Structure 1
Amino acid sequence: MEKYSLTIFALLLSIASFAQSKGSFKGKIIEQSTKQPVIGATVFINNIQLGAATDTLGIFIIENIPSGSYNVKISSVGFQTKFISEVIITTGKTYYSEIELLEDATELAAVTVQVYRGENNPLTPVSTYAYSREEIFRNPGAQGDIMRALSVLPGVVSSGGQFSAIAARGQGTQENIYLVDDIPMFNLSHLEAEGLNSGFNDPNGGRFSIFAPRVIDNVQFQNGGFDAVNGRRSSSYLSLGVKEGNRETWSLSGQFDLLGATIIADGPISPKTSVFASARYQNFSALISLLDEQRSSISYGDYLVKTTTQLNEKNKLSFIAMYNPERPYRTIDDMEAGTNINDDNSGGATLFNHRGNKTLAGLNLRTLINSSSYIKNVLYFRSSTVDNRFGRFNPSLDADGAVIDPRHGGYEDELRTIKNNQQEVGYRSIYTKRFNKLTLTAGIDAMMVNLDYERRLSRTDTIYTFRSADFRPDPAQYYQVLTPSLYNATFDDNAFNGSGYISLSWRVTDRFTLNPGVRYDYTGFAAQHTVSPRLSGNLLLNDRHSLNFATGIYYQDAAYADIAGQSADNMLKNERSIQSILGYKIQFSNDLKFVAEVWHKEFDDLAVQPNRVQSYLNNEGSGYAYGADLNLTKRLSKNYYGLISYSFMESKRNDNNGLGDYNYIFSIPHTISVMGSYKPNDRWIFSGKFRYSTGRPTDRYIVHSNVLNNPENMRYAQETTAINGERLPDFISLDLRADYSIPRKWGTFSAFVDLVNISNRFNVNSELFIPNTGNISNVGLGVFPTFGIRVEL
């Protein structure tokens, strides 16, 4: 009897262990165009030959799946077949996801494709790229930063390895549309050095994304040519979807690395509501010490919570809140004897003290009106606060430029101060209706903006960098005198912005889709009305080959900081661009495609600064840009993915001041990116990325010595003789990443190492002139390593 009891007990343990090593996959399949449930769709797990079909609510569930990573195929009559890679099944838990299917707009369906959000959508026929959550995570050198992950796409350039902001097709970092869960945001980065560049905006953008790793669930990026639904920015369109909470089971994960820690909680809080929350804190003290950089303190945090509630069969409500504080500073106490102010990244003799934060809260209600239409209503509040204080110290130096005594000549903590506080309350209502061969999208946006801005110079200052054409009372005076009256600005006002738009997607034939649209905008601070007609289309040559095109007018609102710096009688206009794109795509297989596009842009009414040290701007600028992009993309399927891209680009500007055309700061003639990721088994993932680009434009100049005619107070001056007349050295970087995961009964343990620029080539982003020595300090980045562990329960 005892023998049988032991046998039964052992069998029960075996069964329990077997049951505990399995999980489930549950989700809802909906149409992308109408958000209606797809009934009878087939969900099939390729690796283990398990599957299920959706019910009348579009719900499916597959149970008893052994823990591991799987590829899933989703198909339904009348829809494009969709593949999902890296569905992670965890012991005792349910993986939940809401999945959208695109309507199959053609009868030429011999090839199914690896469909991601927004790709192969007739409404977005040109330059559309998507990233899944797993692809963002695997992107080497990005360290989970979505903005850095985008830098490998064709036509996209970054400001160098130390920046995460992107510039697209001959325009700047401030000219991209950013949407987070359909909420417009103008800045997605930390550490944007407003005021550091002679007191004005830094064109390079921010250094790090405000989103922690694994927060963004899906990405859609369109490199120009976007439809009339989106506006007020003219360069590119980036839509980020924050992960929804798992409606079935809870999970808790933590990542701990060289820069700090990230905690994520994900799960249901009621039968109808789920929550996803993350908290990240980063501090660069350890990394600065490791890289032996100039001493300073840099820290920031990112805190996010999102709830999703299925109110009933027709209404789904999500709420999102974000708080993103940052605190970098460098004081006189950080300055040490022996530091050479000519060294790379020395910062010269600048002191800074910055406090800032971004806040967002929004509600998004999606309502299914009937079987062919739905409406989205979005209500949001966002704010941004910046309090920047810049100072200067005047050390004694030896003959090589090394600091003997940082406090020798005194120091000032608040020579310049900038306060830039923005608040915006907005409402968006977007209606979509599908007819037989036509899809209609129409909507309105309304925003009330408050801008409280102040820029102060505490005393008359001497500026030792100037252009040959800048006014100087005496041509032999090789410097400029900046008085508070020329620099100071105060602005505190409200303005209303309103928009209306309509866009059509007309399936003229099974092979040809045409997308006309028009957008109207009213910009309160400019008191300007604009109308933007746009047109795009897609022609299927056969089941593998297609042509696409887009053209239209795009307007760019003036930057708030620029508006605030003008006198009451100088009202800036919106900048205008006219864009044209022609492209060709071949789908080699379900997960491999090649895209080639040529594009052209014409600019007018550009805001230009006649004197770079004064706040006065006008709209006398014009310009043009043109280029071509080639891209071969292998989407994530089975165990590897990658891309190869090449971009050619020229971008010229003219301030119409008699000096003629010059290279725009983001005019990069040649860019090459190669990236790949390989997963040999369930434990290891290896990724690599190589990037090359032509060096960025920089000014041609001459240096004048002893410009104060005082050998006891030696100062040098830099006179710019040609704007962006030279180029910095080419950018070359090789990034490597390795991830190792060990599944455990309680969850998963992972370790990773991510190395940016493993060869330690110092990639120069810009040059900083040092008036104390007459030398140049290069601003850039060599190797940038991080490593850490991740635990998921």
Structure 2
Amino acid sequence: MMIRKNTTENLVFTMLLCMVSVLSQAQSPGGFKGKVIDQGTKQPIAGASVQIGNTKSGTVTDSLGNFEIRNIPAGTFSVTVSSIGFQEKNISELLVAPNKTTYLEIELMEAVAKLNDVVVKAFRGENNPLTPVSTFSYSREEIFRNPGAQGDIMRALSSLPGVVSSGAQFSAIAARGQGTQDNVYMVDDMPVFNLSHLEAEGFNSGFNDPNGGRFSIFAPRIIDNVQFQNGGFDAVYGRRSSSYLGLGIKEGNRENWSFAGQFDLLGATLIADGPLSSKTSVFASARYQNFALLQRILQQTNPVSIGFGDYLVKTTTQLNAKNKLTFIAMFNPEAPSRSIDDIESGYNIQEDNSAGTMLFNHRGSKGLVGLNLRTLINNSSYIKNVLYFRSSTVDNSFGHFTPLLDHEGVVLDPKYGRFEDDLRTIKNNQQEIGYRSIYTKRFNKVTLTAGIDAAMMNLDYERRLKRTDTVYTFRSTDTRSAPDQYYQVLNPALYNARFDDNAFNGSGYVTLSWKVANGFTLNPGVRYDYTGFTEQHTISPRLSGSVLLNEKNSINFASGIYYQDAAFSDIAGQSAANNLKNERTFQNILGYKYQFSTDMKLVVEGWHKQFDDVVVQPNRVQSYLNNNGTGYAYGADISLTKRLSQKWYGQVSYSYKESKRDDNNGLGEYDYTFSIPHNFSLLGSYKPNNKWIFSGKFRYSTGRPADEYIVHADVLNNTDVLRYAQEITAVNGRRLNDYVSLDLRVDYNVLMKKGMFSAFIDLANINNQFNVNTEIFLPQTGGVYNVGLGVFPTFGVRIEL
């Protein structure tokens, strides 16, 4: 998506008009109320200190852990919560609205060791002895401020060390040499299938597109907290092997109602937040996004119709002193399409993002409904019981048209030859009803966590090719009927698949956190999984630990076996006699952490992974798969992080990684799709006062691996139907251009008498370098069109009452 210079000037002028001045009126004070609990046991903490920024406002909690601070001047403040024997907790930005009271439940983490000279602030999920390696977290405000992310949690994560996205237009993440489908995703302790919109299943010759989705299913300011672990996670989580991402949805305010609306270039988001009763609060949001206006501003020819929605409701009920119940419901529909009626003459099918001659229609949705009951058993233990239902529906059709072209590839008549939009269809409907029960008990020096997961999975899958088709991209080693046949025939008998069945998945796990000595913690654990569709039993032992050398230095490590369930679409595409196995990964991580100050740390980690039983596809025009693949990956990450605790936060990180795969087909090893040797990120955000926030981010990474190939002309020996073919001579034997992006964001906030007005500009890739993600071969011309993105702007306003 490239834009012209005059368009850029008009765009910047339009953005500046959005940064209007709003007169603030005399402000009434607000309040802050909540409860402080022990993160390990969920018990209330009496006598904890709660201090509001640099003001004189503060208090201590009562015997039940409750506190209340009144008459706080309206504005945004940092909050510090501390108690003897616990790590100090910092809340980066608390918004105190006029005439309103904000309610929060705050968790404190037990101190790792008795230290004299330094107090480490426990930003959520960090400095946890249970997760000593590769752990990062984001607060709600840090996500929103992340430049270029536009409030999208998945885009914000792409700046973390060891993490890469599929490209500028994608939000799905790939961690440490693995793919976008290899991550554990949990929302309020409930598993979800994926977290992104517009994942193009069936785009790659009818099989899964490895790039992942384009936009997160969560609107800005929906996620309250994020914990990300880039490998080495404990035995509580499984069935994926690369990374763990836990997201906490914001709970409703138990004290006052608030209403917010955000209106930007892509659509609108509405939020309602407040008490339903003295015991129950609700948080609800609705977002709809449509890209028509953005595509017109970017002057994209023949734009694709893109629209999606995200709808969420969460209630939180304090049933009594020991029981807390949350209910969550999410629905995320999407409907992009491109039909022959959308195609106009006069555009070059070889231009970037032209979409070539492809036609498609996609209807899909994701859903989650769940209950989470937390019960305090006694003063040292609690149990969580989670009941959920999740679903994912996909109904895709793909086709193409055969236009009349000039010699440069410009469309003269899009309806010249055959056009059909349902040559290939894919339906992939997945439903799962599941139950999780997790028990935690703290002893003198040991914390025990044990649990079970049980789920019944239904998979209804159909992949259909309407007629025999010709594929003009093939590998030199692919089977063809004759050596001089420079194309392959896609036969419905070898492509079509139909699967409709149920399977049971069961898991059990135990993990310990053992304080061997002051500053020395070991976390042994083991996980058992039964996977119904593969009829496989697996055992996954794991071990992690931390050695605190002194007040600021620590050594951290992790090692273990991780199994990954075979993808449902892969299972469904096989004959009954071909039973796929789960893939296995053996991970090792060794790291060093230096705590410069209470909110700044340096982390250096080296890691290695060994892959076995990797699912591979011997022939790209057949649905047959096997587990003959192997591979390995290794690398190192360095990051210096300044958490948001006062006026600024930032991070600088560098990652080196190599990821190799071998299909064991005689061709040897090759670079995996997400083998990105060099990845650098620099992020910073500064808030000089309560009105302005300035943020910037620079990213560089080595270009994605791409196939080496040669082009054959007139492969049908028919000059009236001229077709070219692409023969791949080396899988991922070269690289696309390096990825470079500079992102800038400006926020302007003004407190009003009864709320807040905000305006923002968020410019992704302001340097407007077209970052190529994929090349798509065009049989009509023998050329390619690039899939990627240049500058990606958005701007808008937000009003909170």
Q: TM-score range by the shorter chain?
A: over 0.9
Q: Which residue of 1 aligns with 2:15?
A: none
Pick the aligned partner of 1:228 from 227, 231, 235: 235
1:740 and 1:752 in contact (8 A); partners too: yes
Mapped partners of 1:326, 1:114: distance in 2: 41
1:348 and 1:770 in contact (8 A); partners too: yes
Mapped partners of 1:228, 1:83: distance in 2: 28
Is 1:73 the counterpart of 2:80? The answer is yes
Change in Cα spacing, 1:18 to 1:696, as seen in structure 2 (3 Å) is: closer
1:520 and 1:529 in contact (8 A); partners too: yes
Q: Which residue of 2 aligns with 1:212?
A: 219
Mapped partners of 2:418, 2:479: distance in 1: 30
Mapped partners of 1:770, 1:149: distance in 2: 34
Q: Which residue of 2 aligns with 1:780?
A: 788
Residue 460 (structure 1) shift: 0.2
Mapped partners of 2:758, 2:230: distance in 1: 35
Q: CA deviation digits over 1:482-532, x for unaligned, max 9? A: 110011000000000000000000000012100000000000000000000
Q: Which residue of 2 aligns with 1:664?
A: 672
Residue 292 (structure 1) shift: 2.0
Q: Which residue of 2 aligns with 1:692?
A: 700
Q: Which residue of 2 aligns with 1:10?
A: none
Mapped partners of 2:116, 2:337: distance in 1: 58
Gap regions ≥5 residues in structure 2:
1-23
Q: Which residue of 2 aligns with 1:377?
A: 385
Is 1:127 the counterpart of 2:140? The answer is no
Q: Which residue of 1 aligns with 2:157?
A: 150
Change in Cα spacing, 1:736 to 1:18, as seen in structure 2 (3 Å) is: closer
RMSD (CA atoms): 0.9
Pick the aligned partner of 2:321 from 285, 303, 313: 313
Is 1:617 the counterpart of 2:625? The answer is yes
Residue 457 (structure 1) shift: 0.3
Q: Which residue of 1 aligns with 2:432?
A: 424
Pick the aligned partner of 1:103 from 110, 114, 128: 110
Mapped partners of 1:269, 1:57: distance in 2: 23
Mapped partners of 1:463, 1:751: distance in 2: 49
Q: CA deviation digits over 1:398-429, x for unaligned, max 9? A: 01100000000020010000000000000000
Q: Which residue of 1 aligns with 2:591?
A: 583
Classify the secondary structure of the residue corresponding to 2:643. strand
Residue 348 (structure 1) shift: 1.1
Q: Which residue of 1 aligns with 2:522?
A: 514
Is 1:460 the counterpart of 2:495? The answer is no
Mapped partners of 1:567, 1:364: distance in 2: 39
Q: Which residue of 2 aligns with 1:435?
A: 443
Gap regions ≥5 residues in structure 1:
1-16
Q: Which residue of 1 aligns with 2:275?
A: 268
Mapped partners of 2:40, 2:554: distance in 1: 21
Q: Which amino acid aligns with 1:75?
A: S
Pick the aligned partner of 2:756 from 748, 751, 756: 748
Pick the aligned partner of 1:363 from 368, 371, 382: 371
- Corresponding pairs, count: 777
Is 1:597 the counterpart of 2:605? The answer is yes
Q: Which residue of 1 aligns with 2:37?
A: 30
Pick the aligned partner of 2:181 from 151, 164, 174: 174
Classify the secondary structure of the residue corresponding to 2:479. coil
Q: Which amino acid aligns with 1:128?
A: T
Q: Which residue of 2 aligns with 1:6?
A: none
Q: Which amino acid aligns with 1:289?
A: R
Mapped partners of 1:560, 1:286: distance in 2: 36
The residue correspondences of 1:235-250 to structure 2 (distance < 5 A) are 235-250=242-257
Classify the secondary structure of the residue corresponding to 1:346. coil
Mapped partners of 1:19, 1:775: distance in 2: 64
Q: Which residue of 1 aligns with 2:778?
A: 770
Residue 114 (structure 1) shift: 2.7
Mapped partners of 1:621, 1:85: distance in 2: 46
1:382 and 1:425 in contact (8 A); partners too: yes
Q: Which amino acid aligns with 2:475?
A: R
Is 1:407 the counterpart of 2:412? The answer is no
TM-score for both structures, normalised by structure 2:
0.96
2:609 and 2:633 in contact (8 A); partners too: yes
The residue correspondences of 1:524-673 to structure 2 (distance < 5 A) are 524-673=532-681
2:193 and 2:392 in contact (8 A); partners too: no
Q: Which amino acid aligns with 1:634?
A: K
2:366 and 2:391 in contact (8 A); partners too: yes
Is 1:47 the counterpart of 2:54? The answer is yes
2:192 and 2:368 in contact (8 A); partners too: no
Mapped partners of 2:581, 2:351: distance in 1: 41
Pick the aligned partner of 1:251 from 247, 252, 258: 258
Classify the secondary structure of the residue corresponding to 1:136. helix
Mapped partners of 1:439, 1:113: distance in 2: 21
Q: Which residue of 1 aligns with 2:483?
A: 475
Pick the aligned partner of 2:206 from 189, 199, 207: 199
Classify the secondary structure of the residue corresponding to 1:508. strand
Classify the secondary structure of the residue corresponding to 1:561. helix
Structure 1 runs, 4 residues or longer, greater than 6 Å off: none
Residue 20 (structure 1) shift: 5.8
Mapped partners of 2:80, 2:716: distance in 1: 73
Residue 295 (structure 1) shift: 1.8
Residue 290 (structure 1) shift: 1.3
Q: Which residue of 2 aligns with 1:287?
A: 294
Classify the secondary structure of the residue corresponding to 2:644. strand
Where relative contact order (Cα < 8 A, 6+ residues apart) is larger, the structure is 2
Mapped partners of 2:262, 2:119: distance in 1: 37
2:31 and 2:96 in contact (8 A); partners too: yes
Q: Which amino acid aligns with 2:366?
A: K
1:263 and 1:279 in contact (8 A); partners too: yes
Mapped partners of 1:243, 1:354: distance in 2: 31
Q: Which residue of 1 aligns with 2:361?
A: 353
1:114 and 1:635 in contact (8 A); partners too: no
Is 1:114 the counterpart of 2:121? The answer is yes
1:19 and 1:64 in contact (8 A); partners too: no
Residue 48 (structure 1) shift: 1.0
Residue 112 (structure 1) shift: 1.4
Residue 19 (structure 1) shift: 9.8
Q: CA deviation digits over 1:458-492, x for unaligned, max 9? A: 00000000000100010100000011001100000
Mapped partners of 2:86, 2:170: distance in 1: 40
2:224 and 2:248 in contact (8 A); partners too: yes
Q: Which residue of 1 aligns with 2:747?
A: 739
Q: Which residue of 2 aligns with 1:324?
A: 332
Mapped partners of 2:26, 2:355: distance in 1: 60
